[in-house]
Amino acid sequence: MNMTSEIAKIIRERLAALSDEELVETALGIRPVSPKPIPAQINEEPASTVRTPRRVITPDESQQVYNVLKKEQRGLCMGEITDMTGLNASRVRTIIKRLNENEKSVFSHGSRRFTRYAVCADMARRASLLAEGKDPGKEKEE
């Protein structure tokens, strides 16, 4: 429906509630239509598309992820971190991103399924190379 038909529908509903006398007075401009509450806003989104606000990441959750990485002393993949912390993957990913960008306390190395996270860059690099099946003792390839 377009905007004009929505407004016309609302006017019809309001006028249908008036008595004959009130309708004549309103049409002649003697008496304004009494305001009645509109059942729904015209531009209101359906309830299914309204997003719930996201939960804020707490310092305790960030500390929990950092403690797991520090305790293990090896590079961990995302699945291992989520299993050890009990948090879901999207929250852990966001926490690691913040720890990496803001505090530089967590490092990552590798791509996609070989990405490993650790508290030092060398540990993350070695774990990623091991996950790929490469020898971490060799020098970096050019």
**pLDDT tens digits along 57-74:** 888 888 999 899 888 888
Q: Which architecture characterizes domain 59-132 according to CATH?
A: Orthogonal Bundle (1.10)
Tell me the C-alpha to C-alpha distance, in Å, between residue 76 and each of 81, 90, 121.
7, 16, 12
For residue 127, give the nearest of 90, 66, 83, 78 by alpha carbon. Answer: 78
**Section 117-137 average pLDDT:** 85
pTM above 0.85, yes or no: no
Q: Residue ranges of the domains in the chain?
A: 3-43, 59-132
